[in-house]
Amino acid sequence: MKILILGAGAVGGYWGARLHQSGADVTFLLREKRAEAVKRDGLVVKSPRGDATLPVKVVTKASEGGPYDVIILACKGYDLDSAMDAIAPAVGAGTTIVPILNGHMHFATLDARFGADKVAGGLARISGMLGPNGEILHSGANGVSFGERGGKPARPALVALDAATRKAGIEGGLNPDIDQDLWDKWIMLGSIASMCSAMRGSIGDIMASDDGEAIMNEILDECRQVAAAAGHAPGEKALAAVRASLTQKGGKAVASILGDMEKGGAVEGRQIVGDMLARARKAGIAAPNLRFAYAHLQTYEARRARGALK
């Protein structure tokens, strides 16, 4: 099985690095500057699970090195259009695309471009960031999840990807109910991204405020109601685990969207919060906290667009 990974960031880069180490046939599709650095220095991973400097295969055009059985799409939602253009030459009759983007918006776009039959569901629970020299700084969570949307039996490519992922020591893998897993993650992410961006702090900072816990529970319930309206209400155990993590006194967890804002970068506000709010409105669900959080994110984006951020 030949795997193409778009991007070598903290998520796709780490997953791909471990796949490469375990003997999988992995190629990274990278921009020129990143490609030059990785070709010169190798793909560098710093991790509690073991450091590595890997001489991985790199291409700058998807037409090189194919055909590919699986394409792992590891990009931000706001880069989806350019990412689709980049991978298009590598998408053949037997290719399966596994997007590991946040939220659900990307599925309609990918389905329209490549056909729903080619697009699986996928998500990552990998903690990390890129260091100043492009090294992957992996810090903890080590999981991915993928599978057929709609509960269909897994195609051979996904079964093979599951075997390679497990051999690589990555947790999770093939999930027969990927649709529910996607919603479970989005409920958590919609809540933490909304709160951290609007409150400009970590979970612990938010919990230190008089009404932080109450507001967090309110916004979590708004997201839960949206999932339920879509037929994917979280189970009691899953919801309790999310609630506990998002209301932990002194908790250090923080949504990456806050880091993006603090450095004046682009954010996935529409994909993570805006789309959740739009679905709430369509279902007739009152979502005042999502409404406020998305207005806050849109205000940030307006300031960024006019160059007002310092």
Domains and CATH numbers, the chain: 2-176 (3.40.50.720), 180-305 (1.10.1040.10)
Average predicted confidence (pLDDT) for the chain: 96
Task: Report whether 225 contacts 285 (CB < 8 A).
Answer: yes
Tokens standing for residue 239: 């919801």
| Residue 99 pLDDT grade (very low, low, confident, very high; cuts 50, 70, 90) | very high
pLDDT digits (tens, 9 = 90+) for 107-116: 999 999 999 9
Task: Report whether 39 contacts 58 (CB < 8 A).
Answer: yes
In 179-242, DSSP assigns E strands to: none
pLDDT of residue 309: 82
pLDDT of residue 128: 87
Tokens standing for residue 23: 């003997």
The Cα angle at residue 191 between residues 187 and 196, in degrees rounded to 5: 150
pLDDT beyond 80 at 310: no
Distance, in Å, from the CA atom of 15 to the CA atom of 12, rounded to the nearest integer, reads 5
Distance, in Å, from the CA atom of 133 to the CA atom of 170, rounded to the nearest integer, reads 25
As a whole number, mean pLDDT of residues 15-38 equals 96
Residue type for 88, please?
A
pLDDT of residue 232: 98
